[in-house]
Structure 1
């Protein structure tokens, strides 16, 4: 029991270390921070204030939403109170019985706040109203109405923009947790699976990858996060995917591939991160979005292939079985890309199908 608890703690620490070392998390967030940014560059965020507000977290947007309305109501209530005070409308000023106020039933700060709220929100209970006695009050009600309309438009636009952000559509695009390496049509390929959980299409979908690694040049220069292009394709090509059902995309491991020098026993000793991008336009909103995920060496299984998930029902409809989305089965595969191209029959032994592959299963396979 103690050994099991210790192993779970070690697995948890390894998982946290891997999560911190990623540039792109599995759900697409970039793990990067900026330091020593010049103070003057912060004004660029104020110039582009719309994008700044849209990128704020919901908690801050809601705070600004509440604060902007409440503060504007309070500021204008002070102005209404000041007008009423100058005209002698307040209760403690003891106005005469024949006195004509600037605003009916505004005789204190609380009633001035209520009048400001009713004016800006156009509630109009019919108890408080502006009289033609004070031209300043007429001008102030026009100013508050215009400013209130601007605040309404701005805050509603921010909320609608955040709700309709393309990255929300990206939440319904799912990648397989693991990538696999196995033969496909006389080629050794690295394959991943991607699914669109909505029935609406992603128009003009394109997928590509970047291999991030640290390289050392012959002159001794170390390049951190060196990027190498990784091309993915499917049987119908690599551009304008017909993304109506889950797709299995593959990268051919040939002499031009950075995976060519790797083997089954050296793959997990490598230090790299494979970032996969899928770009397309949502059919419903016509907004472009990008979906990202990443794979590290511990998440690439050599000698396995995905189980099929598309079948035909008795009614003749196509059926997608998502229970097999993360299932893999072992296949005979060469120990390295060089072996695959030059040594026939150099294969791995067969292993039974594995379900819900994760870090624990990888440890057992090792």
Structure 2
């Protein structure tokens, strides 16, 4: 067959992902729907809500027992002390076999029934192992309870305009060797006229701490080397700018890596504001932190 006569290969149709921009925030339609992962069942059972997980396990359990009940009924009167042709008796006999409960009044009395029991017992051993592993994987997933301030600010600090936002550890333990990474994302047009979403690393005054257990004010100085240098609030909105924050560290309780993420849209960045101080002193000279004003900001004009 000549090369020109070869049949064209059929291309695989790939899904289209819709991206919306609402209030400066990118939203990927359909990415958060847990029911869209049927092609990856392991990822499905780890990401669906607990109610969906229990419903899926229950339906699977009932379905397997129903199939084996039909298999027992196909063998005729093969279960002792069971009503011939009774689906309920065959179903509950399957439940006893699958869960390795041990037979009471009903038991297999033919070679056919014992063969089906052998197959179902193997399914039961594998099923219990898989279910135990999935449940443990869901329970043991490390999570971080980190609070981020609802807004970020750009305010003078040490003589330079500085991007600042707050974080706090909501647990009563420490996140050891905590590291903070901050990225700036915005729409740009290249010299060739191509529209791209460019990502910049923001250098922080302090990007790590040996133990994160209270609060942390994260700062980025806006100088000539900063990708924010020379831009104002309107420019950030027009370029669909967003600040992506990623915090990682080791939870001292479970000794596992935990990760927390947060995104600030351009509308979440307040210019010429400052955070309300949350550290106070008692008359005895001791310090305490009041998290009730953790998100509060005030305009610098109030101090002029």
Number of equivalences: 280
Question: What is aligned with 2:14?
Answer: none
Higher Rg of the two aligned structures:
1
- Equivalent pair of 1:106/1:115 in contact (CA under 8 Å): no
State whether structure 2 residue 86 is matched by structure 1 residue 135: no
Q: For residue 184 of structure 1, report the CA deviation from its aligned partner.
A: 2.0
Higher helix share: 1
Question: What is aligned with 1:154?
Answer: 130
Q: For residue 142 of structure 1, report the CA deviation from its aligned partner.
A: 2.7
Question: What is aligned with 1:18?
Answer: 22
1:68-112 Cα shifts (integer Å, max 9, x gaps):
1101111111222223x1xxx3xxxxxxxxxxx653335332211
Structure 2, unaligned runs of 5 or more: 1-19
State whether structure 2 residue 94 is matched by structure 1 residue 116: yes
Structure 1, unaligned runs of 5 or more: 1-15, 24-30, 36-41, 90-100, 332-349, 354-366
Match of 2:227 among 252, 258, 266: 258
SS at match of 1:143: helix
SS at match of 1:206: strand
Q: For residue 263 of structure 1, report the CA deviation from its aligned partner.
A: 3.8
- Report the CA distance shift for 1:319/1:130 in structure 2 as closer, same or farther (over 3 A): farther
TM norm structure 2: 0.79
CA–CA distance in 2 between the matches of 1:65 and 1:80?
Answer: 23
Question: What is aligned with 1:351?
Answer: 302
TM norm structure 1: 0.67
* Aligned ranges 1:1-366 → 2 under 5 Å: 18-19=22-23, 21-23=24-26, 31-32=27-28, 46=39, 49-58=41-50, 60-83=52-75, 85=76, 89=77, 102-107=79-84, 108-124=86-102, 126-131=104-109, 134-166=110-142, 169-170=143-144, 172-223=145-196, 225-234=197-206, 238-263=207-232, 271-311=240-280, 319-331=288-300, 350-351=301-302
Report the more deviating stretch, 214-223 or 154-163. Answer: 154-163
- Equivalent pair of 1:78/1:112 in contact (CA under 8 Å): yes
SS at match of 2:22: helix
- Report the CA distance shift for 1:270/1:49 in structure 2 as closer, same or farther (over 3 A): closer
Higher strand share: 2
CA–CA distance in 1 between the matches of 2:270 and 2:164?
Answer: 10
Aligned-residue Cα RMSD (Å) equals: 3.1
CA–CA distance in 1 between the matches of 2:209 and 2:38?
Answer: 35
